[in-house]
Amino acid sequence: MILAKLDPITLLAQGAESDLLKLVFAASPLAKAVLVVLLIFSLFSWAIIFKKYAVLKKIRRDSETFLRMFRKSKRFSEISAAGESLRNTPLVEVFQAGYDELEAQLMASSKTSNQGNPGQHSASLKTINVIQRALSRAASVELTKLERNMSFLATTASVAPFIGLFGTVLGVIRAFTGLGIEGIATLRAVAPGIAEALIATAAGLFAAIPAVIAYNYFVHQLKEMASAMDDFSLEFLNLMERTFS
C-alpha cells in the first residue's frame, strides 16, 4: 500500500541511490581506496571553504568599521587604541605597522632636536619612504596569512578529477578482464563493472567542482582585500603628511 502511493520518480531515485551504495560496497579494494582518498580531499576542502568564508565575513565587517573610524578620527593615538577591538581586519595590522614606524621617527627626531636645542620640543618626519615600506611589508604579511590553505583548494580542483579518472580506468580494466575470463560478451555482463568504474569519476568531480568554485571566489575576495590595503596605505600617508608636514 505504501509503495503504491509513492511517486514513480521517487521510487526510481530511491532505487538509484540503493544501487549506487551497492556498487560502492561491492567495489574492489583499490577502487575503495581511490574513493577514500577523494573523500579525504573533499572533507578537507569543505572544512577550508567554511572556515575561509567565516574569516572573510569577519574581515569585511571589521574593515568597514575600522575605515569609518579612521576617516572620522584625526589623531593616530585614538585610532590605535580603537583598533585593538578590531583585530579581525588586516587593516589594523597595516595601520599599526605604519604607526609604529611613525612614532619611532618622531621620537628620534624629538631626541635630536632636544640635544641641539634643549628649550625646543619639536618633532618632524625624517622620511616617508621608510613608513611606506613598513606599510607595504605589513600588507604583504597579512595577504600571505589570508592566502593560507588556498593551495590545497587549488590542488583539489586540479588533482581530484585525475584521481577519479585513475579509479575509472582501473575499474574498466577490471570489468573487461572479468568479461574476457567469463567469455560472455553481453551488456548485462559488462554494465555493472562499467557502472562501478564510473563512480570514481563522479566522486572526483564531486570533490573538484566545489573546490574550483570556492577557489575562484576566494581569489577574487583576496584581490579586493589587497586593493583595500593599498588604498588604506595611501590614506594613511595622506593623513600623516597633513598632520606632520
Look at residue 102 and tell me whether its pLDDT is greater than 80. yes
The label of the residue with cell 592566502 reads 147
Give 3-34 pLDDT, tens digit per residue.
Answer: 444 443 343 344 455 566 676 666 677 778 88
The confidence score (pLDDT) of residue 10 equals 43
CA separation for the pair 128, 210 (Å, rounded): 45
Look at residue 153 and tell me whether its pLDDT is greater than 90. yes
Quote the pTM value: 0.77
- Where in the chain are the domains? 29-244
Q: How confident is the model at residue 2 (pLDDT cuts 50, 70, 90)?
A: very low
Q: DSSP alpha helices (H): ranges in 2-89?
A: 2-5, 8-25, 29-72, 76-82
Tell me which residue of 16, 22, 30, 17 sits closest to 177, measured CA to CA: 30
Q: Identify the weakest region by mean pLDDT among 93-97, 99-103, 214-218.
A: 99-103
